[in-house]
Amino acid sequence: MNKTRHRLLGILSKEYADGYHQEGTILDVVVTVPTILKKLDINYDDFVFMIQELLAKDEIKYLEVDNYFDQPVLYAQSSGVTAYANKKYLRADMERQREDIKFWAQLILPVLSFLIAAIALFLNMKTQTEINTVKESQKIQIPK
């Protein structure tokens, strides 16, 4: 989900940058929701779920249909452009992956260590048994 958020911020940031240099109106920086859905290749339900964090952090704005817009639109706030430039959501995704790897490593390494120790102990006991068997057989073979 964070990668898709990053891609969304990328789309909106590009429009923001283009509109900012043109010194136009808000119409120059908005992107319609159907256009976003098509570019991100996601359905509307996933889209609504995904943008909630961006809206809560005031990184994007959502405008309903009104006199100016025939479709709902989104545009990036300056904090959203900054989040995109700093790769905020990509870093969050990488951090989550790092935590997952750390969790599994902390789970698997002790189990692996135990198995290796158990195998080493078993082999040591087997070797010791064989040595004792050889010693016993040597005692029996030596005539007095």
Quote the CA–CA distance of 44 and 73 in Å, as a whole number.
Answer: 13
* Residue 89: CB atoms within 10 Å: 22
Model pLDDT, residue 141: 67
The answer to whether the CB of 48 falls within 8 A of the CB of 6 is: no
pLDDT of residue 119: 97
Looking from the CA of 86 toward its CB, the CA atoms found within 13 Å total: 10
- The answer, yes or no, to whether residue 11 has pLDDT greater than 70, is yes
Question: What pLDDT, on the 0 to 100 scale, is given for residue 92?
Answer: 93
Sheet holding 73-76, edge to edge: 31-32, 73-76, 60-63
Tokens, residue 122: 């078993």
Count, residues in the chain:
144
- Provide CB contacts within 8 A for 81, sequence distance 6+: 9, 12, 13, 16, 17
pTM of the model: 0.70
DSSP symbol at 71 = S
Percent of the chain with pLDDT over 90: 52
Q: What is the DSSP string of 74-140?
A: EEE-HHHHHHHHTTHHHHHHHHHHHHHHHHHHHHHHHHHHHHHHHHHHHHHHHHHHHHHHHHHHHHH
